[in-house]
Amino acid sequence: MTTKLFGERVARVEDPRLLTGGGRYLDDLGRGALAAAFVRSPHAHARVLDVDVTGALDVEGVVAIYTWEDLAAADEAEGTRVSEPLPLLIPHPALHAGRTPYALAKDEVNHVGEAIVMVVASDRYVAEDACQAIVVRYEYLDPVVGIEVSRRAERLVHDDVPDNVAAHLLQQTVGDDALLEATMASAPHVLELELDIERSASMPMEGKGVLARWDLEEQSLRVHTSTQASTSVRAAVAAKLALPLNRVHCIAPDVGGGFGVKIVHPWPEEVLVPWAAKRLAASGLGTAVKWTEDRREHFISSAHERGQLQQIRVGFDDDGHLLALDVKFWHDNGAYTPYGIIVPIITSTQLLGPYKPKVYRCEFWSLYTNTVIVTPYRGAGRPQAVFAMERTMDAIAAELGLDRTVVRERNFIQPDEMPYDHHLTFQDGRPLVYDSGDFPASLAKLKALVGWDDFADYRDRLRQDGRRVGLGLACYVEGTGVGPYEGAHVVVETSGQVKVATGLTTQGQGHYTAFAQIVADELGVPMADVEIVTGDTRRFPYAVGTFASRAAVMSGSAIAAASRIVRAKALRIAAEALEVSEDDLEIVDGVARVKGAPATRMPLGTIAVLSNPLRYAFDDAARAATQFAVGAANKVPVPDGEAPGLEGTGYYSPERSTFANGMHAVVVETDQETAEIRILRYCVVHDCGKLINPLIVEGQIHGGVAQGVGGALYERMEYDEFGQLLNASYMDFLMPYATEVPRTIEVDHLETPSPLNPLGIKGAGEAGVIPGAAAIAAAIEDAEGFVITRMPISPSELFALRREHDSQ
């Protein structure tokens, strides 16, 4: 392999199109389709007594109105399964009381925003007007809002789930409770902390959306959806609508961000819209139906994450070595658990980060509340985990009067201890083993980058001028490249163009560029000749999806494997045609040529012709290139033992996940008068193994840091006691703008290659967000001189803390 492009800062090929309005997002598709809108519950907890749709039937342009009863009647008549609860996607033995919602509420609603009625009309305005004319009668029930209320369990979200506990899990590295308590008891120092992280959510620029078209002739369904997992949506729709898989095609068009929320499959609308399209086509009322989520719907009826209350008890020695770590936390999983308990499992298993306490015990309760469901949001449980671990490390340093980096250094897993087995089970059920990383080297880089050793002087100097600045750091590890598999198909056309199809989807991560870099290198073709297709089950139906920072590792490796198959075939055919040994050939710029005698050559397009005699017969250009006559076509055999076509399919399925890691350091200034918190510097050292494209990775980190800043200083879901989300719009929900995100994010890389995949890569897509809250909290703490235990923190909250501290 010539490594010309792997590792290069190649500009993203997708950007000119996306930045100049050339993207085709869900709402750009389906002109003329009927529009769907939903009546959603205004109450957080209520019984649905009656739904009166008569007023809406008179609205001109209304085509159909559906309630749960209609779904049930259709199931009865047609053998479909749309009235059943949606699937529980990731079951787990600890999830003893998993509950999933109905696509349309049956007789109870459990959060504001839950869909009760679907209206299909000539356009969205009509559909919304009709929704207004529908009257739902409710019996109001007291809602359960917030972790504290849920824990008290004075009232229940689901009558049959005692204590509101959906799941309870205990994880332990070694030994049992007796060992933990004995270790804790013998520890020279014990500290306790209680930490709170509030709910936030993925806020992609494009919300969710579905367009479904029923093809009457083929009796098949084409579903376009703004998803992170088109193959899974396809499977779910086929199962719900009782259709054979081969009669459902699912395509993710350009997707304007996902950040986790679009991994759920199916969303209620992803079932209802295709179901309605098929039904309406059968009755001649229209063949296509579309629904585009509006921003309020995104706030109240998609998904949130983060909300966790965490208690930590840590025992350590005089040098700061971690002896016993006991963590208990309560996770707010909202009203249902369609995505299982993946988020708290990630917190509990990846909390240890780069450290190795002698004994670790973690117990969590996943609690129902009458709020929107939880699904992984970029970082998925890790920002909470890092907040717990890193706040603990800072507390130990403060207790012992040690430098915060020294305490960390003393507890790091060392490079020669890799692979390191924590004796925990990863979220995919496989052993949690770190494959690579050099934490001391990363910290050394970070200290140099931020100027750690000189900071105390600087801080004290500024103090004398009445300015408060502080420096914080936080370290993390991140399991990436989760299995079980991804695949790819690579074909060289007779034009020499290379078309690559992989089944996972893309939401803005720069896959078309990074994947093309891999193909260009592996095949020896110009990158401009490579075209990548993602997320279209007609082009490549075997895939898992884009989440858990897995695309680079999984699809990248599969694409490399497929490219290698094609390259090997090209060399075999060229060697025979040119009458040379394969070993004497190289492929450069899309041409196979003899090493040292480049005049003896054959373009890959010509090799593609040779591998496909039929194509050769009808392709003038190909004939000219190969100088064969038309009549000779049927005399050109496919080379012995070869299938026609210069193409290949490759798969990659790792034995376990690979662990990326990194460290952030932040300098903040807190205003003496107003308590405004300003970020002065943001420094990142990141190790995602071999970098395919540093420019893309840095872009991913920048985006993640922006979300980390949001989680630390601005973003929270403000529910009142009645379960109403008070800030369900961008007028009220604070996000960092360009004015709040540090203008320069200083990034340095450490490349410790993963031994688990042939390219040596580890994932990068979530890293930027993970330590943000912990590092910013540490910096504020350093500036202010008192402990920060909750995130986000606003200027008024900081102000209140100052008062509290001053009065002590």
Q: Which positions from 373 through 402 interact with ligand MCN, judged by CB under 6 A?
A: 378
- Find the shortest distance in angstroms from Cβ 752 to ligand MCN: 11
Residue 420 Cβ vs ligand MCN, minimum distance, rounded to whole Å? 20
Q: Does 201 bind ligand MCN (CB under 6 A)?
A: no
Q: Which stretch binds ligand MCN (CB under 6 A): 43-51, 621-629, 635-643, 691-699?
A: 691-699
Q: Considering only CA atoms, which of 266, 215, 206, 269 is closest in space to residue 238?
A: 266
| Minimal distance, residue 492 CB to ligand MCN, in Å | 22
User: How far is 475 from 452, CA to CA, in rounded Å?
Assistant: 15
Residue type, 686: H
Q: How many CB atoms lie within 10 A of CB 30?
A: 19
Query: How far apart are alpha carbons 661 and 629 in whole angstroms?
Result: 59
DSSP class of residue 13 equals: T
Nearer to ligand MCN, 222 or 378 (CB): 378
Residue 768 binding ligand MCN, by CB under 6 A: no
Per the document, the length of the chain is 808
Among 134, 223, 501, 696, binds ligand MCN (CB under 6 A): 696
Alpha-carbon distances, residue 327 vs 205, 311, 353, 384, 751 (angstroms)? 36, 6, 14, 12, 32
Phi-psi region of 324 (alpha: psi -120 to 50; beta: other; left: phi over 0): beta
For residue 684, state whether it binds ligand MCN (rule: CB under 6 A): no
Interface region with ligand MCN, contact rule CB under 6 A, candidates 84-92, 251-259, 415-423, 520-528 = 251-259
Q: Which has the closest alpha carbon to 784: 382, 619, 793, 414? A: 793
Region from 486-494, 509-517, 523-531, 677-685 binding ligand MCN, contact rule CB under 6 A: 509-517
Enter the tokens of residue 150. 């849920």
Decide if residue 519 touches ligand MCN (CB under 6 A).
no
CA distance 71 to 67: 7
Number of residues this chain uses to bind ligand MCN (CB under 6 A): 37
**Range 141-145 contact pairs with CB under 8 angstroms and sequence separation of 24 or more:** 141/45, 141/46, 141/47, 142/45, 143/43, 143/44, 143/45, 143/370, 143/721, 143/722, 143/723, 144/45, 144/368, 144/369, 144/370, 145/44, 145/369, 145/370, 145/371, 145/719, 145/720, 145/721, 145/722, 145/723
Tokens for 464?
A: 């004398």
CB atoms within 10 A of CB 419: 14
Residue 316 CA to residue 684 CA, distance in Å, equals: 28
**Of 439 and 719, which CB lies nearer to ligand MCN in the complex structure?**
439
What is the SS3 assignment for 696? helix
What is the Cα–Cα distance from 68 to 60, expressed in whole angstroms? Answer: 23
For ligand MCN, which is the closer residue by CB, 109 or 705?
705
Minimal distance in Å, beta carbon 483 to ligand MCN?
13
Q: Does 353 bind ligand MCN (CB under 6 A)?
A: no
| Interface with ligand MCN, residue 436, by CB under 6 A | no
Q: Count each helix (H run) and each strand (E run) in the chain, helices first.
A: 22, 29
Q: Which residues pair with residue 662 across a beta bridge?
A: 476, 686
Burial class (CB in 10 A: 0-12, 13-18, 19+), 559: buried
- Considering the rule CB under 6 A, would residue 763 count as an interface residue with ligand MCN? yes
Q: Which of 259, 267, 439, 719 binds ligand MCN (CB under 6 A)?
A: 259
Which CB atom, from 389 or from 514, has the smaller least distance to ligand MCN?
A: 514
CB-wise, 27 or 619, nearer to ligand MCN?
27
Determine which residue in the list 10, 692, 750, 791 makes contact with ligand MCN, applying CB under 6 A. Answer: 692
Residue for token pair 């041409």: 591
Stretch binding ligand MCN (CB under 6 A), from 170-178, 564-572, 682-690, 781-789: 682-690
CB of 252 to ligand MCN, least distance (A): 12
Binding segment (CB under 6 A) for ligand MCN, from list 70-78, 128-136, 647-655, 695-703: 695-703
Percent helix, strand and coil across the chain, each to the nearest 5: 35, 25, 40
Q: Is 693 in the site for ligand MCN (CB under 6 A)?
A: yes
Binding track over 467-496 against ligand MCN, x by CB under 6 A? -------------x----------------
Query: Does 661 engage in binding with ligand MCN (CB under 6 A)?
Result: no
The least distance separating ligand MCN from the CB of residue 802, rounded to whole angstroms, comes to: 35
Binding-site member from 766, 781, 782, 784 for ligand MCN (CB under 6 A): 766
Q: Is residue 508 involved in binding ligand MCN (CB under 6 A)?
A: yes
What is the pattern of x (binds ligand MCN, CB under 6 A) and - over residues 537-556?
---------xxxxxxxx---
Kindly state the smallest distance separating residue 249's Cβ from ligand MCN, in Å.
23
Q: Kindly list the residues in this chain that would bind ligand MCN in the complex (CB under 6 A).
A: 204, 257-260, 378, 480, 507-511, 514, 546-553, 688-693, 696-697, 700, 703, 761-766
